Amino acid sequence: MSVLQIPFEDAFRFDPSPTFAELRENQPVARVRTLAGAEVWLVTRYDDVRMVLADPRFSRAAVVKQGAPRVALAKPMPNSLTTTDPPEHTRLRKLVTPTFAHRRIERTRPWVAELSAQLAEDVARAGDGADIRQLVALPLPIQVICQLLGVPYEDRERFREWTELGYSMKMAEKDLVEDAMTNLTAYIENLVTKKLANTDQPAEDLLDELVRAREEGDRLSQDELIAFGVNLLVAGHETSANQISSCVATLLRWPENWAKLVADPSLVPSAIEELLRFNRFSEVGQLRVAVEDVELHGVQIKAGEGVMAALNSANRDPRAYDEPDELRLDRQDNKHLSFGFGPHFCLGAQLARIELQESLLALVRRFPRMSLAKPAAELEWRRVLVSGLAELPVNLGLEGLEGLEG
């Protein structure tokens, strides 16, 4: 069996590599070599991806063990939600779930909507050529996660650089990635230490709440607090920032879709779900390690071997979706896997949905004639673990519009 290099050569662009479709049809369990040099199995079909994500025979805790295969340059952190299995994962998740409960997260919507409208005005002031990534996609989730975690907003430039490097898929940045994650961990450790020293003060954020749970006798260690803070800070703004840019760019790539949302903003929630399915979160997949031998499609996966679940490929599987390569903003019963599946389903999924919905609503309302300032094929992509554009310059289409609205 030949071994493919992943990310594939034609990665980091709007359309997925045709290799994923070829593998889905002809080799649903394929051997690939990761950027870190590990050989793992790549699973590409929808049902198989769901199985790998939910089946206890495929472990997340095993990815941090000595000698475990790695997907990217950054080493996964132990003691975190993303690198534990039940029952330890269940204990950790139970501690933080109340803060991320749907009803509680919905309380942030009015503030996120107001912030989105303010950022849209920043775009208007910048005029044609404004970069949506810099003016909306980055500042929105950074401000939200700072407030949620209790991270000083004035430190945003420091940790933004660290988190962007943390997801790098450039071998030339390997040393920079390690330094960035070391610095970010030290930053969060310092923040946690300060909060531990001030437990007599009222809780104002998520880390405050978790610190107090520890003081009240729950088994949440300082290392677990630090790991949670690091993972949430990285995932909580880098992922959302990339998806905001990708969603807006994909709509503007086919202007009729932008026009549909301008005509009927009530389509935005279903449009976001479809864009989450249609766009790629990653050029690779979520890694698990088999803890026992498993046979899948005639392939023997041995205990200790890595298995990469390709969410982006599963989201385009014709076995799961009618015409999966079509963007349908009103697609119903959209059970995409962009937030994962099973025990590790994304804890911040509802928060991400609110950020995506409200930022898109603000832009659609403010700029009904928005268009790309350069052809989609010329937009630059970042080589990072979570797919994202490096830029999104737009023309606002405001000329003559203000007078009409008056």
pLDDT tens readout for residues 165-177: 877 788 778 888 8
- Structure confidence by residue, pLDDT tens digits, 65-85: 988 998 877 788 887 888 999
- How many domains does the structure of the chain reveal? 1
Neighbouring-strand partners of residue 80: none
Enumerate residues 6+ apart whose C-beta is below 8 A from 81: 89, 92, 93, 96, 228, 231, 344, 347
Task: Please state the pTM of the whole predicted model.
Answer: 0.93
**Please, which pLDDT band fits residue 404 given cuts at 50, 70 and 90?**
very low
User: What's the pLDDT score for residue 162?
Assistant: 85
CA dihedral 330, 342, 19, 273 (to 10 degrees): 20
Nearest 5°: phi and psi at 254? -120, 90
Catalytic sites, residue numbers? 235, 238, 240, 346, 355
Residue 39: is its pLDDT beyond 70? yes
Q: Would you say 272 and 330 are in contact if contact means Cβ atoms under 8 Å apart?
A: no
Distance between CA atoms of residues 217 and 233, nearest Å: 25
Asked if the model's pLDDT at residue 406 lies above 50, the reply is no
Helices (H), 264-338: 268-278, 311-314
Q: Is residue 238 within 8 Å of 164, Cβ to Cβ?
A: yes
The set of residues, in sequence order, having a beta carbon less than 8 Å from that of 398 and lying 6+ positions away, is 124, 367, 369
Higher pLDDT, 178 or 22: 22
Confidence tier at 371 by pLDDT (50, 70, 90): very high
> What are the backbone angles phi and psi of residue 289, rounded to the nearest 5°?
-120, 130
With contact defined as beta carbons under 8 Å apart, do 157 and 375 qualify? no
pLDDT tens digits for 333-354? 999 999 999 999 998 899 999 9
- Supply the CATH number for residue 80's domain: 1.10.630.10
User: Residue 208: which domain range?
Assistant: 3-405
Burial class of residue 291 (count of CB atoms within 10 Å of its CB; 0-12, 13-18, 19+) = middle
- Nearby residues of 38 by Cβ (< 8 Å), 6 or more positions away: 69, 70, 71, 306
Q: What is the per-residue pLDDT across 192-239, written as a single tens digit (0 to 9) for each? A: 888 888 877 777 888 887 787 655 555 678 888 888 888 888 877 888
